[in-house]
Amino acid sequence: MRRIPLWLTVVPLAVGGVVYWHFWDGWRDDLRADIVAVVPGATPDIGGFPYRMEGSIAAAAVSSNGAIRTTFRAASTIVNRGPWQRALTVVRTAAPEVDVAIPGLRDVTAHLTAASGLSSLHLAAGVLVRASNVFAAARATTGLFAAPVAADSLEVHLRETRARSNEAWSATPPQQAQVVLSGTGVRIGQGAPLMLAADFGVTSTARLRSFAGWAAGGTVELRALKLADASGEVVRMVASAVPVGDTLRLTGTIVTVCPANVAAAFAGSPGPVEKRLRNPVRLAFGGTPGAFTIASPAANAPTATRAQLPPCPRLR
């Protein structure tokens, strides 16, 4: 039986390795160019051969001054991308810090810091289609309300949802973008840790390309917001916000088993000791940031409590 010469197996492997290195080298150059386009002046160190491209950046800083003004900083950043996957990039950051503002709305600002961040960015034709972000040990402040928010883990997902038509029959313009939040160990001010789930839709008569275009009839729809603890749901909220001058006016309803604590949270005061209601009550609220009001429960609202459950958690 004739043995196959060693060179017949080694040479094809070597040739294949050289060809793959040629392609990997091009993908590495693409990643370097994409990083420099986003972080001007960066000199990323890129490795990861053969399975991925991994670029390291020290002290990254990025800013954008469009309709939404954003600033991003991090102590260090690692950018990962797989072969043949230029549309999908994974970014790991240490000590990220994010500022967001809408120049046309004085109250719509947010500042977020975290111990670490993990982001998945999906692009198509140079446009950001979806951004999924997970922040550990996060802390955020916003101009919409005074109390800071802390979370053990906070997820922020954004995507454009281009409408197929303007749906002229609807009083609300079609949704053009979606923001989904979820968090664990979420604490509002000095409040108890809670679980958060929220779904926002940004509506507009056209694609979101300018503040003026959105403000001409656009809204922000809070489709659902839920706060819960280990004993169950505490607050459920829906609301709609429209631009009025340089601020937002909100109207909505809250369904809760802890109405006294909800009212105290709106007033910015510590919540009282309160037992959870057996049947939730519905409360209407509205106003502008810094001047929200909430209606008292109806006189005939149910008052029976669930004695077997722990007291209501403090909400602020």
* 123 occurs within a structural domain: yes
* 147 occurs within a structural domain: yes
The DSSP H or E segment spanning 298 is none
Say whether pLDDT at 163 is over 70.
no
* 244 occurs within a structural domain: no
Residues 6+ apart with CB under 8 A from 48: 54, 80
* Cis preceding linkage at 50, omega within 30: yes
Instruction: Specify the DSSP class assigned to residue 197.
Output: E
Question: What integer is the mean pLDDT of 30-46?
Answer: 84
Confidence of residue 3 (pLDDT cuts 50, 70, 90): low
Instruction: Determine if residue 268 is left, alpha or beta; phi over 0 gives left, psi from -120 to 50 gives alpha, anything else beta.
Output: left
* 239 occurs within a structural domain: no
Domain range enclosing 82 = 7-230
Could you tell me if 46 and 28 are in contact, meaning their C-beta atoms sit under 8 angstroms apart? Answer: yes
Return the pLDDT at 2: 61
pTM: 0.89
Q: Which structure tokens are listed for 239? A: 């609301």
* 69 occurs within a structural domain: yes
Compute the distance between CA of residue 2 and CA of residue 184 in angstroms, rounded to an integer. 66
Return the pLDDT at 18: 75
* 276 occurs within a structural domain: no
The SS3 of residue 135 is strand
At residue 262, what are phi and psi to the nearest 5 degrees? -65, -45
| 254-272 per-position pLDDT tens digit | 999 999 999 999 988 888 8
Q: Which structure tokens are listed for 76? A: 């260090």
User: How many structural domains does the chain have?
Assistant: 1
* 72 occurs within a structural domain: yes
Confidence of residue 1 (pLDDT cuts 50, 70, 90): low
Lowest mean pLDDT among 9-13, 93-97, 308-312: 9-13
Radius of gyration of the chain measured on its C-alpha atoms: 25
| 271-308 per-position pLDDT tens digit | 889 999 999 999 999 999 888 999 887 666 667 888 88
Length of the chain: 316
Question: What integer is the mean pLDDT of 50-66?
Answer: 85
The DSSP H or E segment spanning 11 is helix 7-38
In the chain the first and final C-alpha atoms are separated, in Å, by: 82
Return the pLDDT at 161: 84
* 138 occurs within a structural domain: yes
| 174-229 per-position pLDDT tens digit | 899 999 999 999 999 999 999 999 999 999 988 888 888 898 889 999 999 999 99
Compute the distance between CA of residue 272 and CA of residue 101 in angstroms, rounded to an integer. 34
